[in-house]
Structure 1
Amino acid sequence: MRNILSGDVDFNKRLNGSNFTGFVHSAFKRTFNIQCFDSGELYTIACRSIDNAPNTLIVDTENTSQWNIEVNDRVFVEDKILYISNKLALNISQAITWESLLPPYPSNEEILLHNVRWAREYIDCQGKGGGIKKCSKPLNPFEAETCKMLEQRTKSLLNNLAMNRIDLAIKHAVSLVGLGPGLTPSGDDFLTGLFTTLHMEHSPLYEHRSFCEKVTKKAKSFTNDISYSALEQASIGKVRESIISFVNSLLIENEDDLILSLNKVLDIGSSSGTDLALGLVCGLEANIKAGGKPC
């Protein structure tokens, strides 16, 4: 029996309030994903080095591969115990609940504007290239062309979003889905960061947050299940804890906190963290421009 350290509030409710059944969708060293039979939705079991996230339970272990979890293993709940075949039993009754809550957009943008400029410069220096951030020396013509497409499409998306040309913005956003390297492609990670900023209450683009769900509805056939799940959650304002911490740090005058939180995001995946961070920064810049201020 393993204890769950913490878990997304909605996932906990789902497990405690119904006869949850599913199967293992995919398995990795530090996580494995479960697909619910009823809804088709993906849920994640992660080791303690992973931060809290939507539809995720954090287990007190260094890695999840030790249990030899395999694709299609049966998953079910019985007496507040989540079973994965006969390989793992997780006690869900004592889990600390976590909820994805974004801070509101600030009424005074001066601190935000300064921090966004600083964060962009930091990402330019410390971020990983090959996705949204250009790689100084592409490995091959395909990588060079992909980076060029990402640059052109993100630019078109942001220009139209800042000008409130939402229909055109949707078109360019959909063209990013599935584009780029990684299990969660660069275009998807960028959109996840961008969607986050539109769900900050009182932001200039908050009234257009339905843009996120409209893009996501068109995106399902263009990317993989895991990446789509992250996009779907972000489209309703639900993102992982490290992203929320970074957003919070952008709203206050504390450079040490900003460096710490931004580095945690940049450390996600290979280039995924850089793509996420740039999506956030670009989304906030679009909000600032939509509010009438230059970046």
Structure 2
Amino acid sequence: MKWDKYIFTEFAAISYGKDFMELFNQMEDLKIIGEIHSIYRNVINFKDDKGIIYAISSENIGNSPFTLRVNTKDIDFRTFGFKKGDAIFKSNNRLNLQGILNIKLGLDSCLWMPKVKKKAILNKAAIAQNIKCFNKFILEKGSVGGCRYYYLKNYLNINNYRPGIVEIELAKRIDCFIDAINNNYMNKEQINPLIGFGIGLTPSGDDFLVGFISVLNIVITNYSYRIKKKLINLVDIDKISTTDVSRQTLYAAIKGRTEEHILNVIDSFLGEDKKRLKFSFKKLFEIGSSSGTDLAVGIVVAFILLINNFNMEE
């Protein structure tokens, strides 16, 4: 498909995150909103003048605080001819990308607001059953290359899997992180080695932490609060060494904001609807090459930690 077939094409925005809309509303008409940072099949990332990354995505990408979704699944942004550094303008309540693509924000566009309620009390029995459900799911659907090996080795006692070098090292770093939490000596030496470790747009160590922190944002107990407070104090978001997109995702998680598919898994994990849980896992596992699996492992390990320390909530 040639990109020149798309000249002057217009799509409508179907949803947008709060952070995205705040950026759009504060910009004057015919002014540059940002410059393209990276281009993928279903996503265009761009940076504003403060270095914050936002995304324009197809509708098959989940809602997120910094994302605007357009009303199409059949799209490949790579075919439009956009380049890194191309400017994105605000023009008459539209986003204009190089005169090739307009995205209209109208009455049919809606603000995405997460509906997951915070919890202070855990149903240990339900979570234990959901962990068993996840164990089957990761064996059947989990992607290799990231956190899957760590989970199989440490929680399922499966040792007949031949991991790669990255998987082995990642497992060691997660072990160190969890041991530090369990023994109450967490410091930068246990967290920094995880950040930026792994391959891809969002390295596996970062994905694990995003899933882990996202649970602590929803489950509000004395124990979870202490862990999260320690993490927030130790992670210097401006100095960490990772990709721009992953830094933005970590920043959002630390601020208590995360994307739709992650929230759906956490919310499902707190309940007893197995059908909904499996569907939410399926959607999460579809993210990236191993990112969905890595996020899920971070989520489940956080829940395991919380129910294993249930008596510390008082």
Q: TM-score, normalised by structure 1?
A: 0.88
Residues 120 and 281, structure 1, Cα contact 8 Å, conserved in 2: no
Select which of 32, 39, 51 maps to 2:62. 51
Question: Any gaps of 5 or more consecutive residues in structure 2?
Answer: 1-9, 151-160
Q: Which amino acid aligns with 2:134?
A: A
Select which of 111, 115, 123 maps to 1:109. 123
Structure number with bigger Rg: 2
Give the secondary structure class of the aligned counterpart of 2:271.
coil
Give the secondary structure class of the aligned counterpart of 1:53.
coil
Give the secondary structure class of the aligned counterpart of 2:15.
strand
Which residues in structure 2 correspond to 1:17-166 (within 5 Å)? 17-19=26-28, 21-37=33-49, 39-61=50-72, 62-63=74-75, 64-94=77-107, 95-100=109-114, 102-110=116-124, 111-134=126-149, 136-138=161-163, 144-166=164-186
Residue 269 of structure 1, CA deviation: 0.8
Size of the aligned set, in residue pairs, is 285
What is the alpha-carbon distance in structure 2 between the residues aligned to residue 201 and residue 283 of structure 1? 10
Q: Which amino acid aligns with 1:273?
A: G
Residues 40 and 78, structure 2, Cα contact 8 Å, conserved in 1: yes
Give the secondary structure class of the aligned counterpart of 1:205.
helix
Select which of 156, 175, 182 maps to 2:200. 182
Residues 174 and 218, structure 1, Cα contact 8 Å, conserved in 2: no
Q: Provide Cα deviations, 1:158-197, integer angstroms capped at 9, x if missing partner.
A: 1222344333xx4312111111222211111111101101
Moved more, 256-265 or 176-185: 176-185
Residues 27 and 33, structure 2, Cα contact 8 Å, conserved in 1: no
Residue 201 of structure 1, CA deviation: 4.4
Identity %: 27
Select which of 15, 19, 37 maps to 2:24. 15
What is the alpha-carbon distance in structure 2 between the residues aligned to residue 266 and residue 52 of structure 1? 16
Residues 237 and 247, structure 2, Cα contact 8 Å, conserved in 1: no
What is the alpha-carbon distance in structure 1 between the residues aligned to residue 218 and residue 115 of structure 2? 9
Residues 195 and 240, structure 2, Cα contact 8 Å, conserved in 1: no
State the partner residue of 1:223.
242
What is the alpha-carbon distance in structure 2 between the residues aligned to residue 116 and residue 259 of structure 1? 11
Question: Any gaps of 5 or more consecutive residues in structure 1?
Answer: 139-143
What is the alpha-carbon distance in structure 1 between the residues aligned to residue 238 and residue 208 of structure 2? 14
Residues 133 and 275, structure 1, Cα contact 8 Å, conserved in 2: yes
Residue 101 of structure 1, CA deviation: 5.1
Residues 3 and 59, structure 1, Cα contact 8 Å, conserved in 2: yes
Residue 50 of structure 1, CA deviation: 0.8
State the partner residue of 2:263.
244
